[in-house]
């Protein structure tokens, strides 16, 4: 869910590792050790680059690698497993790192002047870990021992670093500034998709920006009513609201993109009730924005869904929906999206 693919130059690779090793509590390891030796834990960014023989000014060829990020505040134990190798391999053993919640960073290198992509890949989601607990629980311990909120927070932090320094996208991959420069001056990017600038620069007045990025918005039905019955699946971050007066149904934000699939897999999300079992609510969308770029409307980073019980006034933060794409203006202009009629 929070994986991210991007193009980073070797220089940016260094910057990313420097950030990871100085601004977070992440420890960096090889994913697999070489034969007959311990798994290497890296001391700093320079150590990583040196180990994989990467020169930050490289223009033609450099090898890629895969390393693992482990955060003690996410997971108490990282597990270093010894793998005994078959005789035919001519080797005896090697080590690998394992655990429920690791972030794998892969850098694919430069091949004949073509800079290949990188990504951060989360080894598991909470949901997936719980599904595999029977199989791996003995080795990894209970999935509930992992601080999944901290894991998501950490991946968000890493993604932010990438997005903040990106100037364009190709397919779903972000292109960081120096990688873009590389593609214009030294080589090119290994991509089959067109390169699209991230933000068409169109200066907006502060008033326009303020209007286009409100901190919150109340849900109002097309009939003017503002109370709704609500169904939410918090784990999947989707919701459906039905007007208590005219019964028109709306998806919350981008819920419609995944609704059918989620209902098919997990059934209809549960109806929301307040502590006194009332079921009609006012809905407030609370927006959080990314760091603004001067003269532009900032992108939405997440939207909180807050309900106020229409009967007893009980107020509750129901869930927060993370947004990892751009542009995001429809989420603000039209937080309620008309459904094709679903009978619920």
Would you say 238 and 258 are in contact if contact means Cβ atoms under 8 Å apart?
A: yes
| Separation in Å, CA 339 to CA 239, 251, 343 | 12, 6, 11
Provide the minimum distance between the beta carbon of 263 and Zn ion in the complex, in angstroms, as a whole number: 22
Provide the minimum distance between the beta carbon of 232 and Zn ion in the complex, in angstroms, as a whole number: 16
Q: Which of 44, 50, 144, 311 binds Zn ion (CB under 5 A)?
A: 311
Region binding Zn ion by CB under 5 A among candidate stretches 126-134, 145-153, 225-233, 336-344: 225-233
Q: What are phi and psi of 277, to 5 degrees?
A: 70, 20
Q: Which of 278, 279, 289, 326 binds Zn ion (CB under 5 A)?
A: 278
179: its two tokens: 């990688």
Region binding Zn ion by CB under 5 A among candidate stretches 164-172, 177-185, 192-200, 303-311: 303-311
Residues 182-221, mask of contacts with Zn ion (x by CB under 5 A): ---------------------------------------x
| Residue 273 contacts Zn ion per CB under 5 A | no
* Cα–Cα distance measured from residue 193 to residue 189, given in angstroms and rounded to the nearest whole number: 10
Instruction: Identify the sign of the CA torsion 119, 15, 159, 71.
Output: positive
Residue with Cβ nearer Zn ion (191 or 227): 227
| Residue 344 contacts Zn ion per CB under 5 A | no
User: How many binding residues for Zn ion (CB under 5 A)?
Assistant: 14
Helix axes 10-23, 177-185, angle to 10 degrees: 170
Pseudo-torsion of CA 265, 268, 272, 277, nearest 10°? -120
Provide the minimum distance between the beta carbon of 229 and Zn ion in the complex, in angstroms, as a whole number: 11
Q: What are phi and psi of 40, to 5 degrees?
A: -85, 135
Q: Which of 225, 226, 279, 318 binds Zn ion (CB under 5 A)?
A: 225
Binding site for Zn ion (CB under 5 A): 221, 223, 225, 243, 245-246, 248, 274, 276, 278, 309, 311-312, 314
């Amino acid at each position: 869910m929070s994986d991210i693919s991007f193009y980073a130059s070797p220089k940016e690779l260094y910057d990313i590792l420097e950030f990871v090793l100085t601004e977070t509590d992440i420890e960096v390891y090889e994913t697999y050790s070489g034969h007959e030796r311990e798994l290497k834990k890296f001391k700093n960014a320079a150590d990583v680059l040196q180990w994989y023989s990467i020169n930050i000014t490289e223009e033609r060829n450099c090898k890629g690698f895969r390393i693992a990020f482990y955060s003690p505040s996410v997971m108490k134990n990282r597990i270093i497993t010894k793998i005994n190798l078959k005789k035919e391999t001519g080797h005896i053993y090697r080590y690998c790192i394992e655990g429920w919640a690791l972030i794998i960073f892969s850098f694919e290198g430069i091949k004949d002047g073509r800079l290949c992509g990188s990504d951060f890949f989360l080894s598991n989601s909470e949901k997936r870990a719980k599904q595999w607990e029977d199989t791996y629980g003995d080795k990894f311990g209970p999935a509930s021992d992992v601080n999944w909120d901290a894991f998501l927070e950490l991946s968000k932090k890493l993604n932010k670093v990438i997005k903040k320094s990106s100037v364009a996208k190709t397919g779903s991959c972000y292109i960081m500034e120096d990688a873009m420069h590389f593609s214009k001056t030294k080589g090119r990017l290994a991509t089959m998709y067109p390169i699209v600038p991230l933000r068409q620069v169109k200066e907006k007045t502060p008033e326009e920006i303020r209007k286009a990025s409100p901190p919150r918005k109340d849900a109002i039905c097309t009939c003017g009513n503002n109370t709704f019955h609500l169904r939410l699946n918090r784990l999947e971050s989707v919701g459906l609201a039905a007007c208590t007066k005219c019964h028109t149904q709306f998806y919350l934000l981008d819920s419609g993109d995944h609704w059918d699939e989620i209902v098919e897999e997990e059934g209809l999300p549960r109806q929301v009730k307040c502590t006194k079992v009332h079921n009609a609510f006012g809905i407030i969308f609370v927006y959080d924005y990314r760091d603004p770029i001067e003269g532009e409307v900032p992108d939405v980073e997440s939207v909180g869904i807050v309900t106020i019980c229409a009967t007893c006034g009980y107020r509750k933060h129901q869930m927060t929906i993370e947004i990892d794409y751009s542009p995001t203006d429809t989420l603000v202009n039209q937080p309620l999206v008309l459904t094709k009629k679903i009978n619920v």
